[in-house]
Amino acid sequence: MTAIAMTPKATPLKEEHLRLGAKMVDFVGWLMPVEYTGIRAEHEQVRNRVGIFDVSHMGEIRVRGNRALETLQWLTTNDVSLIENGKAQYNLLINEAGGIIDDIIVYCIEKNNDYFICVNASNTEKDWAWINSHNRGAELTNESALWGQIAVQGPMAVSLVSKVFGEEVKSVAAFNFSPYPFSGALCYLARTGYTGEDGFEIFVPTAKTVLLWRTLFELGEGFKVKPIGLGARDTLRTEMKYCLYGHELDDTTNPYAAGLGWIVKPDAKDFIGKEKIQVAQRAGLKERLVGFKMVDKGIARHGYRVLAIDNREIGRVTSGTVSPTLGESIGIAYISTELAKVGQEICIDIRGRAAKARVVKTPFVQTVLAKNKPL
């Protein structure tokens, strides 16, 4: 039987991207801009000025009612009871085997009663089904079709966003969010991002997404604002060693191995997969996620084998690129725990050539937000 090719979904900003000359690609079933003027230039734009991303492909799930907190506590590893109104929290959905279903951000609109979850685009349907099947009595709504999402990131991001929503937005702290009106609609401005730079992720009603996009560019002329594609989004997050689902995280990943033990709170509550996660940790993790820099020439790519100096296979590359900021080849990999220490020499199998690399401290690039960890 011949497989039927699925037409990728489009965000509300598809025509805007085409008008701006973006190179469009199918990304996890969505037609998205991978670049406009070039990945390096767009990367540097975010690090030095301000860039605007379309992230409307991300999913949004609402969890409400007097069983909302109980449901989220059972579904996730972090302690959702810690977040008050207007706070955001990085968190994980976990399966019964202790693997990661998705990494998410939970926004507390009304403590104990109303939460808004942002999930990865590739996992929206999977997450929605999982949350429904393990619901403990909350009122659930998949609001993904109701929202567009625009990320404004860079040293000048807050100044630009204040031009649109007012000077009050400057008082929104890191990993906090607040509702703001825009053209007769209500947006949520979250002081979060995926670049390591300051900025906002703006949840905007679908019907107002194009207007907000155009307004940001009109008012951003003085900041020399530019649109940014998925290519630079990936190099920016790699420089920070931020995990990407499908690369650093999947349904078999132990959170401690991924360096995400800080958002696992087994002493605070019970949750799905808790025992399996703890058993694996007590038994001794076989591998850990590390950052490395290439010593020899070459670019490490997702899926490349990692070798010890004696040529033993000890792991696999999850992400790799040439860092535009450093001008060096960098990467992220899972490697055997005994070799997962800063300064350790390793090799990357690049098409049959053992290229030397070295485990290094991360993030690779220090930014204003690099040392901050949310709840």
**What pLDDT shows up at residue 3?**
52
Domain annotation covers residue 74: yes
- Does residue 327 share a domain with residue 226? no
Give the separation between CA 116 and CA 256, rounded to whole angstroms.
26
pLDDT in tens, 286-324: 999 999 999 999 999 999 999 999 999 999 999 999 999
pLDDT in tens, 40-68: 999 999 999 999 999 999 999 999 999 99
- Does residue 193 share a domain with residue 318? no
Q: How many domains does the chain have?
A: 2
Of 268, 283, 298, the domain-final residue? 283
- Does residue 111 share a domain with residue 243? yes
- Does residue 270 share a domain with residue 214? yes
Domain annotation covers residue 122: yes
**What pLDDT shows up at residue 4?**
58
- Does residue 252 share a domain with residue 317? no
Using the structure block, give the residue that is written with the tokens 């991303």: 53
Residue 303 burial (C-beta neighbours within 10 Å; 0-12, 13-18, 19+) = exposed
Size (the chain), residues:
375
- Does residue 140 share a domain with residue 176? yes
pTM for the model stands at: 0.95
Of 283, 311, 332, the domain-final residue? 283
Of 283, 306, 327, the domain-final residue? 283
- Does residue 266 share a domain with residue 232? yes
**What pLDDT shows up at residue 367?**
86
CA-based nearest residue to 321, from 234, 244, 201: 234
- Which parts of the chain have pLDDT scores under 50? 1
Pairing of strands 199-205, 147-153: antiparallel
Its domain, for residue 341, covers 286-360
| CA distances, 257 to each of 2, 186, 198 (Å) | 40, 39, 28
Domain annotation covers residue 129: yes
Domain annotation covers residue 373: no
CATH number of the domain at 354, please.
2.40.30.110
- Does residue 307 share a domain with residue 271? no
**What pLDDT shows up at residue 115?**
98
Spatial neighbors of 107 by CB under 8 A, at least 6 apart, are: 87, 88, 115, 116, 117, 118, 177, 188, 190
- Does residue 218 share a domain with residue 203? yes
Domain annotation covers residue 368: no
CATH number of the domain at 81, please.
3.30.1360.120
Taken in order 234, 338, 375, 76, the sign of the CA dihedral is positive
User: Taking the mean position of all CA atoms in its chain, how far away is CA 174?
Assistant: 15
Domain annotation covers residue 365: no
Please confirm whether the linkage preceding 363 is cis (ω < 30° from 0).
Answer: yes
Beta bridge partners of 149: 203
User: Taking the mean position of all CA atoms in its chain, how far away is CA 297?
Assistant: 29
- Does residue 334 share a domain with residue 198? no
Spatial neighbors of 148 by CB under 8 A, at least 6 apart, are: 11, 12, 13, 54, 56, 203, 204, 205, 206, 208, 209, 212
- Does residue 177 share a domain with residue 270? yes
